[in-house]
Amino acid sequence: MVITVDKLSETPLYLQLRNSVIAGIAAGELHPGDALPSVRSLAEDLGINLHTVNKAYATLRDEGYVIMLGRRGAYVADVPADPAAGMGEADLTEALTKLATEFKASGGTQDAFIAAAKRAAANLD
């Protein structure tokens, strides 16, 4: 899997890294137990500060996507047997509400939001 960042994007670099790893997991490019690049090597490859990579990995760890094994590195975490153990329904509802609110504030409609959500979900299969 290739991890990239857009240094001109308004999205913070650590969130771009986080999102890239999560997308790799969702797409089946990363599997439980797969090693992620070391903080130092990924920072060097992307030309960014190693603290940025460390923050992305820490965020992924806190969210349950990655396990950190000290000097042995970062690895994709096992998928919980209960999918609700990850992002619960309340968290999902909160995240979707935020997205829907931002979409509506930018002039979008409820129907357009639902259609976009269905297309995004279909891309996961």
Angle at which helix 89-105 crosses helix 110-122, to 10 degrees, equals 130
Contact present, 88 and 49 (Cβ < 8 Å): no
Is there a domain that residue 1 lies in? no
- Does residue 68 sit in the same domain as residue 87? no
Query: What is the structure's pLDDT at 86?
Result: 57
CATH code (residue 29): 1.10.10.10
Is there a domain that residue 30 lies in? yes
The reply to whether the predicted model has a pTM over 0.85 is: no
For residue 118, the enclosing domain spans: 83-122
- Does residue 20 sit in the same domain as residue 64? yes
- Does residue 54 sit in the same domain as residue 88? no
Count of domains for the chain: 2
- Does residue 66 sit in the same domain as residue 97? no
Is there a domain that residue 4 lies in? no
Percent of the residues in the chain that have a pLDDT greater than 90, as a whole number:
59
- Does residue 72 sit in the same domain as residue 88? no
- Does residue 63 sit in the same domain as residue 115? no
- Does residue 52 sit in the same domain as residue 92? no
- Does residue 18 sit in the same domain as residue 71? yes
User: Which residue type, as a one-letter code, is found at position 108?
Assistant: G
Using DSSP, state whether 27 is helix, strand or coil: coil
Is there a domain that residue 6 lies in? no
Six-digit token string for 41 = 């090597």
Cα separation, 125 vs 123, in Å, equals 6
Model pLDDT for residues 57-97, shown as the tens digit of each residue: 999 999 999 999 988 999 999 975 555 455 677 878 888 88
Query: What is the structure's pLDDT at 57?
Result: 96
